[in-house]
Amino acid sequence: MAIASPPAPHAGFQLAWRIAGAMFCRLVLNTARRFVYPFAPVISRELDVPLTAVTAMVAACQAAPLVGLISGPFADRWGYRRMMIGGLALVALGMSAAAIWPTYAVLTLAVVLASFGKTIYDPAIQAYVGARVPFERRGLVIGLLEFPWAGSTLIAIPLIGLLMDAGGWRMAPLSLAVAAMIGLLLMTRLFDPDSAPSVSTSRMLGTAWGALVARPEALGALGFAFFASAANDMLFIVYGAWLEGRFGLGLAALGLSTVVIGGAELLGEGLTVVAADRLGIKRAALLGAALTMIAYALLPVVGESLSGALVGLFAVFVAFEFTIVNCMSLATELLPGHRATMMSGFFVAAGLGRVCGALLGVPIWQSGGIGSVGLTAAAATLIALLCLNRGLARWAR
């Protein structure tokens, strides 16, 4: 496994700079992955393609987490820095091409490459943190690394909107390409080169995934990731239609509801930074799952008024973000010999859960309204909680 020994205490300042650089890189990756969503109508008009073509572009990205089946073990063998650089390079390459050749096909390729880059980068940086940050401080650092997820919605995407308004839609891929190149420079300057691989390529995949499926705690985390993500996307896919149909919200008001969710994600990540290590990451993950389940179940009750619905959505996404980030922190310690493989498996399971949740959410809502969605999401979260609790029953660091 290509990781160095944990740093001495005096290296803490250097590690802090590395985490700050990694946060910037994740902001670039998250923004490159998400910017198409709010600007789909603009991109549709500028490229002279139907809106369905832009949504097909987004759908093509949903397969990206499957790359983690290979990239995780490769990160454990080749080194985390190499994989992080590779992930950012994909974003820089794709977005540069889209800025130079502004066609639908090239932009689709750019967005797909950005999704692949995020899939490669995220497990590598989290495994890097798992190998170098004491478990008692892991929740703090993983929580900080998740701030760019909310930051992409609250800061980066609005900034790209201003750039597009001033210089046309090509400013989006151009600015992201430049930011990715800055991230590449940060990675090469801040992070030490990886050591030589210690496991042969022929044995790598079988060894890594065999170690994962043999550990009940790892399987429990995968089950949690699948069912918790499925529950969240059941609601996420229909909440706009619910608010529009129930309260007659227009486009502007629906856009403001996205800010509510972005603020909830930011608060959930902040609570992880402040409270996870004090509560204990395992206890915080289980408590957060229970609170998320309750929030889903209460959403139909409090959602009789618009203010109640927005408060209910805020509570759901705060609890979910707190829970999922804590579980990520926990997952970095479940398979110490194959950390990137464990994190890749976590994201693959979560991605498959999101796909299932998105497919089930609309039929459930059409058949029973927000009440059915809330109760079904609560039931799925209960299964996620049971998976995690069962998997961790005999686990000890």
Most confident by average pLDDT, 83-97, 257-271, 344-358: 83-97
d(CA 111, CA 113): 5
| Cβ–Cβ < 8 Å for 114, 97 | no
Cβ count within 10 A of residue 372: 16
Say what the alpha-carbon torsion angle 163, 167, 173, 179 is, to the nearest 10 degrees.
-50
What DSSP assignment string belongs to 254-304? HHHHHHHHHHHHHHHHHHHHHHHHHH-HHHHHHHHHHHHHHHHHHHHHHTT
Structure tokens at 195: 């050591």
Cβ contacts of 51-58, under 8 Å, gap ≥ 24:
53/104, 57/104, 57/107, 57/108, 57/111, 57/112, 58/111
Residue 369 gets the label, from left (phi > 0), alpha (psi -120 to 50) or beta, of left
Q: Is the pLDDT of residue 6 over 70?
A: no
d(CA 10, CA 134): 14
Q: What is the pLDDT of residues 107-146, one digit of tens each?
A: 999 999 999 999 999 989 988 888 888 888 888 888 899 8
Cα angle 229, 265, 157 (rounded to 5 degrees) comes to 105
Mean pLDDT of 6-18: 68
Question: What's the confidence (pLDDT) of residue 246?
Answer: 85
Pick 9-198's CATH classification: 3.20.20.70, 1.20.1250.20, 3.40.50.300, 3.30.1340.30: 1.20.1250.20
Q: What is the pLDDT of residues 279-333, one digit of tens each?
A: 888 899 999 999 999 999 999 999 889 999 999 999 999 999 999 999 998 988 8
Q: Is the pTM of this model over 0.85?
A: no
Residue linked to tokens 């008024």: 305
The CATH class for the domain spanning 215-391 reads mainly alpha
d(CA 127, CA 108): 29
Split at pLDDT 50, 70, 90, the class of 93 is very high
Closest CA to 358 of 253, 275, 242, 236: 236
Structure tokens at 19: 């985490």
d(CA 272, CA 146): 10
Angle between helices 104-132 and 51-60 (to 10 degrees): 30
Closest CA to 21 of 192, 165, 208, 157: 192
Average pLDDT of the chain, as a whole number: 85
For the chain, the domains span: 9-198, 215-391
Burial category of 196 from C-beta neighbours within 10 Å (exposed 0-12, middle 13-18, buried 19 and up) = exposed
Q: How far is CA 86 from the centre of its chain?
A: 18
Mean pLDDT of 22-32: 94
Split at pLDDT 50, 70, 90, the class of 3 is very low
Q: Is the pLDDT of residue 197 over 60?
A: no
Q: Judge whether 9-198 and 215-391 match in fold.
A: yes
Say what the alpha-carbon torsion angle 351, 240, 368, 319 is, to the nearest 10 degrees.
60
Q: What is the pLDDT of residues 36-91, one digit of tens each?
A: 877 777 888 888 888 778 777 777 777 777 777 777 777 778 888 989 999 999 99
Structure tokens at 202: 């022929």
Closest CA to 94 of 155, 188, 172: 172
Cα(first)–Cα(last) distance of the chain, in Å?
20
